[in-house]
Amino acid sequence: MKRLKNALTILFVVFFLVSNVYAADYAKHITVIGTSDMHGNIWGFSYEDNSETANNGMARLYTYIEGVRAENPNTILIDAGDDIQGTIMTDDIYNDTPDEPHPVIETMNYMGYDAMTLGNHEFNWGIDTAKRILGQADFPILSANVLNPDGSYMTGNGYVIKEVDGVRIAIIGTVTPDVPIWDGGKEGIDDMTYLAANVAVKNAIEEIGDDADVIIVSAHMGMYAEFDEDNGSDSAQKILDDNPGIDILQVAHNHVVVSEKQGSTVIGGCRNGGRDAARFDLYLDEDNNVVDSTVEIVDMTGVAPSEEIRGIPLVKEAHEKTISYVNGGGGEDGEGGVALGSTTARFQPENEIRGIPEGRVRDTAVMDLINKIQLDASGADVSAAALFKDTSDLPEGDINYGNIFDIYKFDNTLYRVNVTGAELKAYMEWSAECYNQWMPGDISISFDPEYPDYLYDMFEGVEYEIDLSQPKGERIKNVMFDGKPLEDDDVLSLAVNNYRYSSALKAQGLVSGKKDWESSSSIRDMIVDYFADNSPVAPFVTDNWKIVGVDLSKDDPRRADIIEAVNAGYLDPPYAESYNLSDYDALMAEAEANQSSSN
């Protein structure tokens, strides 16, 4: 035993010495902070709710960034796109105002960004608007795979080389080449060339040659292909597979946390709205070779917003102007606090289980209202729409523009297209893939975290069931239209927004027909007009669809105990995986331990 202890002691000492030799075996330390998908959230404020947020916004990011810069002066700041779209401030005020300073770019200039990559939402208003707004940046905007008609980079730069502490760092920016799927037809979009991201990065690396010691790729796309599964032109993993010499790979677009290491490459991605920052640390030797690297995704919860950012004159003006705009009903001057209309009651039921949105597990008045407006406007037989945010609701009483934005945050237009019964059912199956399969003993419905909430459409004009005891692709049952079973060769007209038409119906090959009608106004404007003409609006629910094939054991007292623990905050919400009654004892022990530690 004594020999064993001595041997273990020697091993520990050797490990300690080796670890410290390795830790000291670097001469330079460079930190890279990556942000993305900030979607116009400067202040840390929800204009649709007229309330401060607690864990996001560019002002919080700046507080964190300044702390890191104080810790390590050799810090660079990059962004992976989707920044000038996403709030009432950006979408309804500043993106439609020509030749005026843009508050997001003004803020990014103040924050001291070293580079920004284009995101797909930078294209929402067409090429000229994108170039006008982004042209206000004091830092390079990168677009290695988007080329002007003459073959030059759309933004003038595909990559930039920064020198920090004698280290030459190449930053290559690439956006998902799927931009024309969503925004094709808008001003200048179809005139651009969109290269496969892996090819564009390879071209840039070859052009850079020996001029850089470190290669960073800032990619506005997820790790895996969104549409091009065969070739991976929109896959960050494909970029890495074809270019193994990358030191840092920043991903974006999907609004999910990514933190991993593949070989010597550190990979990081953040959620949206300024919720996180990705911190990459590189350790280099005297010859500027990377000897170690780490990645950390830092949540902004608990970080105080920077008063410097909030004090920027344009930011303060834009914030106040947006609040006034919302309270004024979205009018030109935004003054007067005029309501757009009113309701007689709330439109969403209370969640039974914290974190499990009732609006996605049963038919609700919010979705029936949107689908009714789409059916009325289009004259279609069937309508499809999504609950873009799990908490979207209409309160009882007066309704302002922020409330409308809350239930429909995108500037989508409405299309009508003929579909067969088989095509409609295929589309419904695609939508129902957002759910996890229910297993015996599960106390709730849960959701596949790989499917963002905005991909789940609910349908009106047909009656149907979703059998969650079945695997994906086999869930849509008993579809009825006009009182009869929907046959595969029946032909119906479908109302669907332009985004879903392009990114799902066409890109996924679900529908062969082409649109035969397009609205002249946005769906959000249609909702505004509906309240103007029909207030007070009473919530109504058609209950035309329901989830079947599940037994949630609602009479079992064990289920009530688990739900009580979730709602009290002693267990995490079972969003991505349901709690199961078979784990009752372990769950109660975990809840008790969490309760004790919180007291």
Query: What are the tens digits of pLDDT across the range 19-62?
Result: 343 445 899 999 999 999 999 999 999 998 889 999 999 999 99
Average pLDDT score over the chain: 93
Amino acid at the residue 585: D
Q: What is the pLDDT of residue 299?
A: 98
**Contact yes or no for 382/493 (Cβ under 8 A):** yes
pLDDT over 90 (residue 11): no
Percentage of the chain beyond pLDDT 90 is: 85
Q: What is the pLDDT of residue 71?
A: 97
pLDDT over 80 (residue 98): no
The average pLDDT across 446-452 equals 89
Q: What is the CA radius of gyration of the chain?
A: 26
How many CB atoms sit inside 10 A of residue 292's CB? 16
**Widest CA span of the chain, in angstroms?**
88
pLDDT over 50 (residue 15): no
Amino acid at the residue 149: P
Angle (CA) 526 101 328, round 5°: 35
Q: What is the pLDDT of residue 507?
A: 84
- How far, in Å, CA of 175 to CA of 222, rounded? 10
pLDDT in tens, 149-160: 999 999 999 999
Which are the contacts of 473, defined by CB distance < 8 A and separation ≥ 6?
Answer: 429, 433
Give backbone dihedrals phi and psi of 498, rounded to 5 degrees, phi first.
-60, -35
Amino acid at the residue 393: D
Q: What is the pLDDT of residue 599?
A: 74
pLDDT over 60 (residue 328): yes
Handedness of CA 321, 132, 110, 258 (dihedral sign): positive
pLDDT in tens, 234-262: 999 999 999 999 999 999 999 989 999 99
Q: What is the pLDDT of residue 171?
A: 98
Q: What is the pLDDT of residue 227?
A: 87
pLDDT over 60 (residue 478): yes
- How far, in Å, CA of 387 to CA of 408, rounded? 8
Q: What is the pLDDT of residue 6?
A: 46
Burial class, 523, CB count within 10 angstroms (exposed 0-12 / middle 13-18 / buried 19+) = buried
Q: Which of 95-99, 148-152, 168-172, 322-326 has the lowest mean pLDDT?
A: 95-99
Supply the DSSP symbol for 434: T
Burial class, 81, CB count within 10 angstroms (exposed 0-12 / middle 13-18 / buried 19+) = buried
Closest CA to 421 of 503, 495, 481: 481
- How far, in Å, CA of 509 to CA of 515, rounded? 14
Which are the contacts of 445, defined by CB distance < 8 A and separation ≥ 6?
Answer: 356, 361, 435, 436, 438, 468, 547, 550, 552, 578
Closest CA to 71 of 308, 302, 311, 298: 298
Query: What is the band of 18 on the pLDDT scale with cuts at 50, 70, 90?
Result: very low
Closest CA to 426 of 370, 371, 508: 508
Query: What is the band of 338 on the pLDDT scale with cuts at 50, 70, 90?
Result: low
pLDDT over 60 (residue 215): yes
- Name the CA dihedral angle for 234, 238, 243, 247, rounded to a multiple of 10 degrees: 90
The average pLDDT across 208-231 equals 95
- How far, in Å, CA of 552 to CA of 546, rounded? 14
Q: What is the pLDDT of residue 327?
A: 82
Query: What is the band of 16 on the pLDDT scale with cuts at 50, 70, 90?
Result: very low
Please, which residues bridge with residue 280 across strands? 32, 295
Query: What is the band of 81 on the pLDDT scale with cuts at 50, 70, 90?
Result: very high
What is the separation of C-alpha 75 from the centre of its chain, rounded to a whole number of angstroms?
Answer: 26
Q: Which of 69-78, 165-174, 194-203, 501-510 has the lowest mean pLDDT?
A: 501-510
Query: What is the band of 184 on the pLDDT scale with cuts at 50, 70, 90?
Result: confident
pLDDT in tens, 187-210: 999 999 999 999 999 999 999 999
The average pLDDT across 442-462 equals 93
**Contact yes or no for 53/46 (Cβ under 8 A):** yes
The average pLDDT across 573-581 equals 97
Strand-strand pairing, 276-284 and 290-299: antiparallel
**Contact yes or no for 401/528 (Cβ under 8 A):** yes
Q: Which of 8-22, 309-323, 464-478 has the lowest mean pLDDT?
A: 8-22
Query: What is the band of 330 on the pLDDT scale with cuts at 50, 70, 90?
Result: low
Task: Give the residue carrying structure tokens 């990459």.
Answer: 280
Q: What is the pLDDT of residue 9?
A: 41
Q: What is the pLDDT of residue 99?
A: 79
The average pLDDT across 512-539 equals 95
Q: What is the pLDDT of residue 321?
A: 95
Sequential DSSP letters for 129-196: HHHHHHTT-SSPEE-TTEE-TTSSBTTSBSEEEEEETTEEEEEEEEE-TTHHHHHTTSTTGGGSEE--
Which are the contacts of 7, defined by CB distance < 8 A and separation ≥ 6?
Answer: none
pLDDT over 50 (residue 10): no
Q: What 3-state class would DSSP assign to 217?
A: strand
